[in-house]
Amino acid sequence: MKLPKTYGFLKKDLDIIEEALHRAIQADHEVLNEAVTALLNAGGKRIRPVFVVLAGQLGDFNAEKVKKVAVSLELIHMATLVHDDVIDEAELRRGKPTVKTKYGNRVAMYTGDYILARALEEITSIEDKAVHRILSKTLVEVSIGEIEQIRDKYNWNQSLKDYLRRIKRKTALLIATSCKLGAVVSGMSERDSNKLYQYGYNIGMSYQIIDDILDFTSNEKVLGKPAGNDLLQGNITLPILYAMENADFKKSLQDRFQSPELITKAEMKQFIQHLEHTDAINRSYQLSNQYLAKALKTLEGIPNHRAKRTLEDIAKFIGKRRS
Amino acid sequence: MKTSNMEIESVKKHIEEVMHYPYIERFLNKPIIDEEKLAVIMTIIHNQSVLSEIEKERYITTAVLVQVALDTHERVLESHESNPEFDRLPNQLKVLAGDYYSGLYYYLLSEIDDIQMIHILATAIKEINENKMNLYYMKYFSIDEYLELVKKINFGLIDHISVYLNDTSLNDVASEWLLLCQLTKEIDVLEREQNTQNENPDSFYQQLVHVWKTKSLSLSNKVGTIPDKHATYQKYLKSRISNW
């Protein structure tokens, strides 16, 4: 089963959000319009809007506010992607040329800034102080996470704690915030809003860990980039951290990555094969499962509702994700 | 109204502390705060008797953060412009630093629950980036069209803030002054490039120089029209022009 089937009943809400997203990014400039429309049309899982809507349904569902939050969060996510592609010098995203590839870094910077500004214009039509305190704090944390990701590249001595803090900022916080804001604008109690925040945080952690595992265990056709690409870019992820507990493996990595640009596909394949012969992948899945178990646990006490069951199903789906 | 050089320095120092992020500064140095824009922003905001001290401090800080974020992103190079061995990291950090400053402006204003000001700044950023796109893709233009766009980009943020605070009395003079400052930088760049085209009387360089001369003359006359409530800024601007 595919993830979207889990929340098929949200189709009507998601269609409304999709329409609002298209309206939100209409720009006067032809190229800007073309760039942002192409980004939207490239698709994406719209996982943040899904969490906003589901959390909203658990409270007194306010369609207008939920829509605005969902649109803003997706726009923030999109703006981040456009700028990330400049940072990573990425040629393709979801199989299509990135904004920076098609129009250059300068236009990518303008496009990302434009989209973020639209996101904040949209969300500030909600006059709820709590919404802005939560979201603004998340935005700052996400930026810090991105800076630390660059800082920690090729740092072979980083700890598990460093990694977890990084993926928290990189992925988990925006999902946690999606859940919490959906709950807040639907008038849920602080206790339940916080539970949903915790749910989102744990789901986000698990999701990112699995993404990091798949970078080694999946293939170029599925990933849209070569297996082991994260490591090649200098990102030390959980499987590598576990595998580096073996001092010989750590040393061989350190030695070979003195000149990462010279590493061949065959050498990368060897590293991956070595990784697969260790318990690193299994242990990574175990940690991911621990986060999923926590996510499910935090939903206890939330009244029974179709949306709650869907949140549970999403957690279970993420645990089984192998591509 | 406080726009003495000492005041500007002290506000600058405070904003630099807010923006301080050691890892970024290790590779990009301290963010550059445009003092001329800061002086205008301070003048407009300090004159608002309806604003509390904390609001004034936050408005000035966040307006500067937005400007620095925009300026930092403007310095991101095209991939082919950068030397992959030395320039990749600073280029990456320019992207991230700009995003970080943008997050900070939102955060600082949400701390004082000023949702309207967040909206005003977001709208300014949106329009400035639309105008940057217009400028970037401008192929055939008259010097007047070019100046109009540069002015909108250069003064867009202050324009939005002044309209929101219902005090546009400085806009005419300040926008011209900031445009002149910008033109000076562009003329310097063209002179450094020592393009032979610069000799041609119809060249872009010669047109800019002509505009610069005309505008600097008319600005000297305009300074006298600054209203009394902004007398300190008038004094400040006179001294800046006379030292030019």
Cβ-defined contact of A150 to B134 (cutoff 8 Å): no
Q: Decide if B164 touches A, using CB distance below 8 A.
A: no
> Is residue B30 very low, low, confident or very high in pLDDT (cuts 50, 70, 90)?
confident
- Segment 91-150 of chain A within 8 Å of chain B by CB: 100, 104-107, 109-114, 116-118, 120-121, 124-125, 127, 129, 132-133, 135-137, 139-140, 142-144, 146-148, 150
B100 touches chain A (CB under 8 A): yes
- Token code pair at residue A189: 């109690």
Mean pLDDT of A204-216: 96
Distance of CA A319 to the CA centre of its chain: 16
Alpha helix stretches (DSSP H) within chain B: 5-19, 22-28, 35-46, 53-74, 88-111, 115-136, 143-164, 171-193, 204-222, 231-242
Considering only A88-92, A124-128, A233-237, A292-296, which range has the smallest mean pLDDT? A88-92
Closest CB from B73, B104, B115 relative to A109: B73
- C-alpha B18/C-alpha B133 separation (Å) is 30
The partner residues of A92 in beta bridges, in order of sequence, read: A97
Residue A319 scores a pLDDT above 90: no
Whether residue A104 and residue B93 make contact (CB cut-off 8 A), yes or no, is: no
Who among B79, B102, B111 is closest to A89 (CB)? Answer: B79
Q: Do B118 and A132 touch (CB under 8 A)?
A: yes
Between B223 and A43, where is the model more confident?
A: B223
Architecture of the domain made up of A3-320? Orthogonal Bundle (1.10)
The total of other beta-carbon atoms located within 10 Å of residue A287's CB is 17
Contact A70, A53 (CB under 8 A): yes
Q: What is the pLDDT of residues B120-159, one digit of tens each?
A: 999 999 999 999 999 999 877 789 999 999 999 999 999 9
User: What is the SS3 assignment for A96?
Assistant: strand
Cβ-defined contact of B79 to A105 (cutoff 8 Å): yes
Nearest by CB to B133, from A32, A137, A142: name it. Answer: A32
Domain coordinates in residue numbering, chain A: 3-320
- A and B: number of Cβ contacts within 8 A: 139
Q: Residue B243: what pLDDT? A: 81
Burial class from Cβ neighbours inside 10 Å (0-12, 13-18, 19+) for residue A16 reads: middle
Q: Which range, of A108-112, B191-195, B231-235, B238-242, averages the lowest pLDDT? A: B191-195
Decide: A275 and A239 in contact? Cβ < 8 Å: yes
ipTM score for this prediction: 0.95
Judge contact between A35 and A107, C-beta under 8 A.
Answer: yes
| Residue B189 φ then ψ, to 5° | -60, -50
Ramachandran sector of residue A59 (left: φ over 0; alpha: ψ -120 to 50; beta: rest)? beta
**Does the distance separating the beta carbons of A127 and B129 come in below 8 Å?**
no
Quick check: A120 and B119 CB within 8 A?
A: yes
List Cβ neighbours of B28 (8 Å cut-off, separation of 6 or more): B72, B90, B93, B94, B97
The SS3 of residue B172 is: helix
The Cα–Cα gap between B11 and B15 comes to 6
Q: Which residue has the tokens 């909600």?
A: A126
* Cβ distance of B74 and A86 shorter than 8 Å: no
Confidence check: pLDDT of A95 > 90: no
Closest CA to B78 of A240, A314, A107: A107
State the nearest Cα–Cα gap between A246 and chain B, in angstroms: 30
pTM strictly above 0.90: yes
Q: What pLDDT does residue A223 have? A: 67
Chain B hits for A143, CB-CB cut-off 8 Å, are: 96, 99-100, 102-103
- Give the structural domain span for B8: 1-242
Task: Count CB-CB contacts under 10 A for residue A308.
Answer: 19
Q: Tell me, what's the pLDDT at B112?
A: 98
Q: How far is CA A15 from the centre of its chain?
A: 21
- d(CA B152, CA A276) in angstroms, rounded, equals 57
Tokens of A37: 């429309």
Q: What is the mean pLDDT of residues A222-240?
A: 87
Helices (H), A89-104: 99-103
Say whether residue B21 is in contact with chain A using an 8 A CB cutoff: yes
Q: Looking at the complex, report in whole angstroms how far the Cα of residue B77 sits from the nearest Cα belonging to chain A.
A: 7
Give the CATH number of the domain where residue B142 resides: 1.10.600.10
Burial of A323 (0-12, 13-18, 19+ CB in 10 A): exposed
Measured at the CA of A66, the angle between CA A65 and CA A70, to 5 degrees, comes to 120
CA distance A131 to B119: 14
